[in-house]
Amino acid sequence: MSQNLLQLHPLLSEEEMLREIERLRVERKAVILAHNYQRPEVQRIADFVGDSLGLARKAAETDAEVIVFAGVHFMAETAAVLNPSKTVLLPNLEAGCSLADTLTAADVRAWKAQNPDGLVVVYVNTTADVKAEADYCVTSGNAVQVVASLPEDRKIFFAPDMFLAAHVERQTGRKLDVWLGECHVHAGIRPEHIDAQRAEHPEAEFLIHPECGCASHAIYNFPDTPLLSTEGMIHHARRSEASAFIVVTETDMVHRLEQEVPGKTFIPVHRSARCEYMKMITLENVYETLRDLSNRVSVAPELAERALKPIERMIAIG
C-alpha cells in the first residue's frame, strides 16, 4: 500500500494495520520492543517482550536502525542512552510513569550534598537526569544483589520506590535512606484483593511483585510466598508444580505468562491494576510512529554520558 493511498484512506482495519506494521518494520530496519504491561495486541507484534532489564539488554544488543519502544518514557530514554546513533521512537510521548515522576535530579543532588560519601541506587523507573546522578541503576530482579554487594560502611540512598526498598532491606539486612515514592498501580493493590483471590482460589500460588504495597501483608499471612520480578514470575511458574497462579502486578502480565507458560492458569489479582500510561500505546500509534518516524526520544550527549555508567552496571548485574 503506497503512502499516498494511506493518506487517502487513513482508517485501516486491524488486519491492514498489522500488514502495514510488518511492512514498515522491514522497510525502516526497525525493532519493536514491548513491556510486559502493554496491551496484548501490542505484545503480539513485538520482536521482544520483557521487563525493563530485558528490554534494556535488547536495546543494547540490537543492530536495528530504528527502535520502537512500546513502553513508557523512561524506558525509551534508556534505549536512547544506550543507542545514541539510532532512532528511538515512543509511540505516545504522553506515556509517562507515576513512580518516575516522584523523584527529580535535584532531590538526588540534595541527598548527595548532605551525604558526600554515600552511594545512590536508583530504580530503573527514573528519568535519565536522575540516573545521571546515580552510582547504580537497578531493577526489581537485581536490586537485592546490587545492594548486598555494596560496602557496609557506606550510606545508601535508595529511590524512588519505597516498597521495593523495604524488600531490599528485608533481604539484605541493610538500613537504607529511602525515598517515599510508589507506583500508582502497585500501591493500589490492597490486602483485601489478595485475601479475596486466595479465598476463591485456595489451590493457587501467588506471584507477587515487590513494588506492591500489599507485600508485607502477603509475607506475614503467606510466609512461603516469594516476592518476584516479572521475569522471576515466569521462571517460578515454569518450575512450580502448581497449575494456577494469582498474579499480583499489572493485569497484562497475565497475557505474557499465558504465552510463556502454556497449560497453566493465571488469575489477575484485581482488574483495577492497570497502568494508564502503558495503555496509551496502541496498535494505531505504533503504526503511525513507524510510518512517520515520529515521536523521537533523545537524551543530550552530556547527560547521556553520565547516565550510561549506572545503566551499564544494571545490564551487567543479575
Q: What is the pTM of this model?
A: 0.90
Find out whether 223 is annotated in a ligand binding site.
no
Q: Is 52 known to sit in a ligand binding site?
A: yes
Predicted local distance difference test score (pLDDT) of residue 318:
62
Assigned architecture for domain 189-268: 3-Layer(aba) Sandwich (3.40)
| CATH superfamily, with its number, for domain 3-96+278-297 | NadA-like (3.40.50.10800)
Query: What are residue 177's DSSP bridge partners?
Result: 157
Say if residue 214 carries a ligand binding annotation: no
Query: Does 97 show up as a binding residue in the annotation?
Result: yes
Is 212 marked within a binding site? no
pLDDT digits (tens, 9 = 90+) for 59-118: 989 999 999 999 999 999 999 999 999 999 999 999 999 999 999 999 999 999 999 999
| Residues above pLDDT 70, as percent of the chain | 97
pLDDT at 69: 97
Superfamily of domain 100-184: NadA-like (3.40.50.10800)
Q: Is cis: bond before 160, omega within 30 of 0?
A: yes
Q: What number is the average pLDDT over the span 150-175?
A: 96
Ligand-binding site membership of 123 (annotated): yes
In 219-234, which positions are buried (b, 16+ CB within 10 angstroms) versus exposed (e)? Answer: beeeeebebbbbbbbb
Q: Is 13 annotated as a binding residue?
A: no
Query: Exposure of 33 by Cβ count < 10 A (0-12 exposed, 13-18 middle, 19+ buried)?
Result: buried
Q: Is the pLDDT of residue 10 over 80?
A: no
Query: What are the sequence ranges of the domains in the chain?
Result: 3-96+278-297, 100-184, 189-268
